[in-house]
A and B are shown apart, each in its own frame.
Chain A
């Protein structure tokens, strides 16, 4: 007989802890625990048996891995949070006593935690980090567009918009944008960075609500506020982590491409509303010069500093520079030249001459034409008209190599003036208005340029080629805008049109329609429907003579002549019989075979069948709707014609 096992000493009871137990163990408040969980990426787990994990109680609780909590207990951030608690106590005491100077010195020495070690832990490699920046980007872009208030300080908003601009600059510089989608929620962008697809969502920006123009909508303004049922603390904690993460990711991305991070911000341009243009990308190799002069200035300054200090400062200044230089050397243009020399030469194997089939080398892979042309808009110059959103289209056009200009009302820093002759396209979102008083010059300009609606840009990007401008011209009804991300397999595809069966049915119906219409124009819809219904009823009830008789009578009452009815009946009977014979035998056998399935399999089967039928239904509904719409359109065209 083995050793007696005590209950609750091993297994699930030991592996899981409830949330309250975790808080007790960590000796922190619930808010701090939440903050830690967010920062460290620890989430509750679902034990296989909740009862066993909760030592027999089945009360609803959330469980964490005991190891996760043990791991949290050693977290430096937790220590800092405790320090902060002590600090808050001291500060409130000092303030209560009116000891302003001690309060000030306390405030100056406030404990601040850093998150770089957490970033390193959660994302041990750079690729891990890039894979997981989707949510971070969404949050950054959201907060960049929010107004600041008491809970959201302006510095935070500023930092978010800086990070957003840095990301856009990088994407534009590296030409890594792949897809874009204008949805009702905002604009989705998808980029490919380090072979990872990164998708982020940017809310629509409403510059017009600031200037108070015609689109000032109360709803718009409300939406920009944080709703009351949203816990801002949680969002800000996430944002804290995301800012740090993105800072490190951008640093790596920038330095890897040989750029300086952070890109310097031109304040005058920024105040002029230049947006992304306020930042200037600088090559790391060029910037090495000015920074060395800076160190000289420090020396020349003429203050009495001990040699040791000077040495220390020089060391501290040079350290990051040196690292940056190393990065540049590795990635500089010279390195490419070397690579070209070092091309892999295939040598035929002596034993097996066939084996020397082409092996993909780095060079051949990089030389391969990319599937999506990233220089789609390179030959064109665009001009935004003032009602289209500049941040969206500037980003889109510039990431695909185009030039773009905008009027001064959209911000300063436009590289192209409106009168520039090189402008090929004007992105315009206004209805067409007949202009009477325009000079010949303007007229010529207008004729030379193509006026397209904004959707054209996005559709071109998603199609990977320049589409015809004609359907997107100013004032035209736009073709539908489809998602470039695709849907699940077998879903309804609006681009393809109806599937074979549906189309066939439709054709037939159309033919019938025409015939009948030829016969009797005046009595339409109702009669046809009656005939069909009667015929179907008859087909169903074809075994039963009484039912058939009843159907006949019904048809007669609806005013259908007997010949037509007979024809219809025979047709539908044939169809139904064919279907029935094919279907019933196999179905019956299948149904019977289902008896032999185990319970588990049966449940799985039912579940799969359920989802399948649901998807099929969705598809069928969409197809039916499309058919109805098409029919209506045709009818309208006919009545017009």
Chain B
């Protein structure tokens, strides 16, 4: 068998087989062979000796038949190759493995398998197998169109076997039980049943096993060179062992001595003892510390309170709502990071589950939170409230409502009190002007104008008695009824003189019109100044202290609407050609020839005689709504729609001395009392605030401002509250007109007032 294999597999093997060929009785010739052959052969011999054989070149006659796997394997390979070629051979030749017999050995007495003798002759070659088709390994489709499939050994055509149609094929698969174990043989173009060995190989391949049933992958290793009885006893070379194998190296010694010398001299220090030993503490504070100051210590956390106790008093325990509220809150928003709990015994207290978290957050505070030093104010908040004299010591001032007068049709826009303080005129938006008495509140007379009353003001002169009503682009001069004779005469002569004053050299756009004396009655104005067309409704009328000049401000018109009218000369002039910003209000200085002009954000003071700008005051108000000047002329108050009230000391600065914000809505009107140290402010919140405002003559003392009283009583209509307040001239009485449509009310008279009267 070995010979057969060798002849198939190559020249080298052939050679070795030639070596082997003359060794039919191996057991006898072992000794010589060992000496002569190379290692492989020696091994072979050795293995034969040991009887644990299994090396490929095995002799079939060897008695160790059990371990021939590898040899068999190779054999198998060759057999398979044969199979491929010699498939056409008949059923006998398909039996690939030589059948082994098991017999009892005569020599050892052990059972052994014996394979049939193979004659190493021509027939032993697989090519001698009986294969009808001898075309060899050519593509069979060459014969597709031909009636034959090849040629037999004699050169005769091998005819194509009858194949039958698909039905036959199907029938054969159904009828023939062995059909599913047969395969198509393309060499003979027929189906051939597979042998049991082939089926076994297929099964093993399917199962993923080694195809060879007899191959053992786990056989014990054979130590060919070191195994028992297989040791190499003879040297490979006969050269004598060199000296260097046993004499110590000189160079190594020199190297070592060099290191030794270095160690002795201390140039090399042996490996340090491990420095993992803890460094010892020492007296670190015994040396002087550096001079720079220590950093500020971190603030300590607050100490625990009663509620943190494991057994707090019962009142500290949270109720159900408190507990829910606490749980619903975000952890950052919680005032306390724990809920008080009560445990009846110390052994029942569980671990605090947020302990580590709390420590960690403390550390985050220590290294991530910016620290600011804050001075903690330890004072009673009430000491922050300024100490002011009690209002009761600052009487008189108005503190209750004594009269109410109602305009039934519209908002009471404006009020004015006569200079003797006995009469009040009030105008509303329906165009009605009422004259009524302060003492009893009885309406004496009313005038009706065609449209909304913008402003009205009583002439401050005492020797004459009339008031001015500003209605749509007109300024009417009206004489009240029941005026004493001489006064009336003087008034009439002033307003409607027999000889008109000479016309001014420069014609004014303002036309002064006097109705003919015949048509004049008490119901109509005695004199009218027609402002230029489209100048808008005059919203303010203000008199100079002497009563000869008056100024009107019209807003909403197309052009700037400040006019100064002189009654005696019946002459009007516009003092400003051009003003920066929309003029809201104007005022005459009570003593000096100065003129205050309030635009939306600034108050400018002009000297009228020199015709130049003196000062610009910056109240810091978004929109100025009202303004009044103190009778001394040194102080000015300005109110704005943004609720601010600014007090200016005109001698000090152009910035407010004091800014107050106490009304909840826009300030509408301000007025200083002409004789008492009082002023009042009214606002859209429906309240009137009375202040005591004492001004000192020496420049060192600041003015004293004391809030005295808040008067309520006006209703708020359409977001508008008290529209105008005016003081009565000689009494601490106040008149106010409100937007609660129709009510113009008088607040006045305190007990203090009676005292004053008694005193004077």
Chain A residues at the B interface, C-beta cutoff of 8 Å: 34, 37-38, 41-46, 62-63, 108, 112, 114, 116, 119-126, 128-129, 131-132, 134-135, 138-139, 142, 181-186, 188, 199, 203-204, 206, 215, 217, 219-220, 222-224, 226-227, 229-231, 234-235, 238, 247-248, 250-252, 255, 261-262, 320, 323, 327, 387-389, 429-431, 453-455, 477-478, 480-483, 485-487, 491, 494, 589-590, 592-597, 599, 601, 604-605, 608-609, 612, 622-623, 625-626, 629
CB-based closest 7 A-B pairs: A124-B289, A485-B303, A608-B381, A625-B315, A592-B707, A251-B281, A46-B370
Contacts of B707 in A (CB 8 A): 592-593, 595-596
Docked pose: A251 CA to B281 CA in angstroms: 7
Within 8 Å of chain A (Cβ to Cβ): is B116?
Answer: no
Give the complex CA separation of A252 and B282 in angstroms.
8
Interface contact B304-A181, CB-CB below 8 Å: yes
- Asked if residues B377 and A604 are in contact (CB atoms below 8 Å), the reply is yes
Complex Cα distance, B300 from A135, in Å, reads 8
Beta-carbon contact of B368 and A44 below 8 Å = yes
Within 8 A of A (CB), among B190-219: none
Give residues 386-418 of B contacting A (CB, 8 Å).
Answer: 386-388, 390-391
Which residues of B are found within 8 Å of A604, using beta-carbon distances? 377, 381, 384
6 contacting pairs across A/B (C-beta < 8 A) = A124-B290, A188-B304, A227-B357, A323-B282, A455-B346, A593-B388
Q: Which residues of A contact B303 (CB under 8 A)?
A: 188, 199, 483, 485-486
> B345 near A: Cβ within 8 Å?
yes
**Whose C-beta in chain A lies nearest to the C-beta of B391?**
A589
Residues of A within 8 A of B382 (CB): 590
- Chain A contacts for B391, CB-based, 8 A: 589, 592
* A219:B284 contact, CB within 8 angstroms: no
Tell me how many residues of B have a C-beta within 8 Å of chain A: 83
Give the distance to chain A from B425, nearest Cβ to Cβ, in Å: 32
- A325–chain B nearest beta-carbon distance, Å: 13
In the complex formed, the residue of A with least CB distance to B347 is: A429
Please, which residue of chain B has its CB at the minimum distance from the CB of A198? Answer: B300
With A34-B367, A605-B381 in contact, do A184 and B295 touch (Cβ < 8 Å)? no
Choose one: A43, A183, A429; the contact of B369 (CB below 8 Å).
A43
B487 at the A/B interface (Cβ < 8 Å)?
A: no
Contacts of A119 in B (CB 8 A): 284
Interchain nearest-CB distance for B677 vs A (Å): 16
Is the beta-carbon distance between B309 and A252 smaller than 8 angstroms? no
Partner of B360 from A121, A235, A608 at Cβ < 8 Å: A235
Q: Assess whether B35 is interfacial by the CB under 8 Å rule.
A: no
- The reply to whether B309 and A483 form a contact with Cβ atoms under 8 Å apart is yes
Interface of B is mostly: loop
User: Which of chain B's residues have a CB closer than 8 A to the CB of A116?
Assistant: 279, 284
Give the complex CA separation of A252 and B359 in angstroms: 27
B351 an interface residue at 8 Å Cβ cutoff? yes
Assess A629 versus B338: contact at CB under 8 Å? Given A487-B306, A595-B660. no
Decide yes or no whether B710 CB sits under 8 A from chain A: yes
A605 to B344, CA, bound (A): 44
Q: Which of A46, A185, A623 has the most CB of B within 10 A?
A: A185
- What's the Cα separation between A108 and B313 when bound, in Å? 59
Among A38, A44, A135, A142, find the residue whose CB has the most chain B CB atoms closer than 10 A: A135
Q: In the complex, are the beta carbons of B385 and A482 less than 8 A apart?
A: no
A494 to B315, alpha carbons, bound, how many Å? 9
Bitwise interface map of B from 328 to 364 toward A, beta carbon under 8 Å scored 1, else 0: 0000000000101101111101111101111110111
Q: Is the CB of A388 within 8 A of B289?
A: no
Which chain A residue has the least Cβ–Cβ distance from B266? A306
CB <8 Å contact, A609 and B290: no
Distance A267 CA – B380 CA, assembled complex (angstroms): 61
Q: Nearest Cβ distance between residue B377 and chain A, in whole angstroms? A: 7
B251 within 8 A of partner (CB): no
Q: Is B371 in the interface zone, CB < 8 Å from A?
A: yes
Q: Would you give the 0/1 interface string for B698-713, flagging 1 where the beta carbon is closer than 8 Å to chain A?
A: 0000000111111000
B228 to chain A, nearest CB (A): 37
Q: Is B7 an interface residue (CB 8 A)?
A: no
Q: A231 contacts which chain B residues (CB < 8 A)? A: 360
Contact of A234 among B343, B347, B360, B706 (CB under 8 A): B360
A327 to B, closest residue via Cβ: B283
Is the beta-carbon distance between B359 and A138 smaller than 8 angstroms?
Answer: yes
| CB atoms of B368 and A43 under 8 A apart | yes
